[in-house]
């Protein structure tokens, strides 16, 4: 049997969790299409992957735009080959209570966090089916269970879980798995930005959150990357349609 391609697409890979995922998959032997809204911003991640002896290509993509997704996946295929792994990590936050949330606040979060993974999954499914192998890992959140001030984000992440389970049902016969990693609180540039928008000291916010985490610490990007690596592994072919909460304690 021919060894399956070990080419991975990671969206939102310029920094934070996405960069950690790209590095971990490179350590596991994958070449990486490092995708983000701005290809230039991917330079550090690309350098990290290449330093590990793997190929890497920075590719700009607006995951919410159908044409952009088509071009980005085509560019991956030209530069590296057909992807065997897709990690949908790109995401945005717009925190407001329901009373203050605008339709624009709602829509941009749906577009990036739910429409984007749908478009990316649809774009790679044909080549994965043809290869008889594929690993799709979608990044949701504990917010899918409900989160104050995040009706838009919670709805998108809950929808992503439903999308993933459906893909697992439809694609399993082709050797393609689809799973969800749902992080809890993780120290990233995004969570730092949340504190800034709320006018809260970040260290104070972390201390408040950690009081409710049984593990007694916040998550790190590497914690999420390790979970993604399990689902992305060629040996994980009998694990599909699952949601793994990486939150320092039981969830779900």
Does the annotation count 153 as an active-site position? yes
Closest CA to 164 of 148, 141, 185: 141
CB under 8 Å to 172, separation ≥6 — which residues?
A: 240
Catalytic residue among 153, 185, 231, 245: 153
Strand 31-36 versus strand 56-60 pairing type: parallel
> Within a 10 A sphere around the Cβ of 75, how many other Cβ atoms?
18
Q: How far apart are CA 90 and CA 221, in angstroms?
A: 14
Q: How far apart are CA 234 and CA 208, in angstroms?
A: 39
Q: Catalytic amino acids?
A: 153
């Amino acid at each position: 049997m021919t060894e399956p391609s070990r080419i991975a697409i990671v969206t939102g890979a310029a920094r934070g969790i996405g960069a950690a995922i790209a590095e971990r998959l490179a350590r596991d032997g994958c070449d990486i299409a490092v995708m983000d809204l701005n290809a230039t911003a991917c330079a550090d991640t690309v350098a990290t992957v290449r330093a590990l002896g793997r190929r890497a290509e920075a590719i700009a993509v607006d995951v919410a735009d159908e044409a952009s997704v088509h071009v980005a996946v085509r560019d991956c295929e030209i530069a590296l080959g057909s992807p065997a792994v897709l990690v949908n990590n790109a995401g945005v936050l717009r925190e407001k209570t329901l009373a203050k949330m605008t339709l624009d606040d709602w829509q941009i979060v749906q577009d990036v966090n739910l429409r984007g993974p749908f478009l990316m999954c649809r774009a790679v499914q044909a080549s994965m089916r043809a290869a008889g192998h594929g690993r799709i890992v979608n990044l949701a959140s504990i917010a899918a269970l409900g989160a104050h001030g995040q009706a838009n984000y919670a709805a998108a992440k809950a929808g992503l879980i439903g999308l993933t389970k459906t893909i697992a049902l439809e694609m399993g016969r082709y050797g393609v798995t689809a799973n969800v990693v749902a992080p809890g609180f993780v120290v990233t540039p995004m969570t730092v930005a949340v504190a800034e928008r709320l006018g809260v000291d970040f260290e104070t916010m972390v201390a408040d959150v950690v009081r409710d985490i049984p593990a007694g610490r916040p998550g790190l990007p590497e914690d999420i990357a390790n979970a993604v690596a399990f689902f992305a592994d060629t040996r994980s072919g009998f694990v599909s349609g699952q949601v793994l909460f990486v939150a320092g304690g039981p969830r779900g």
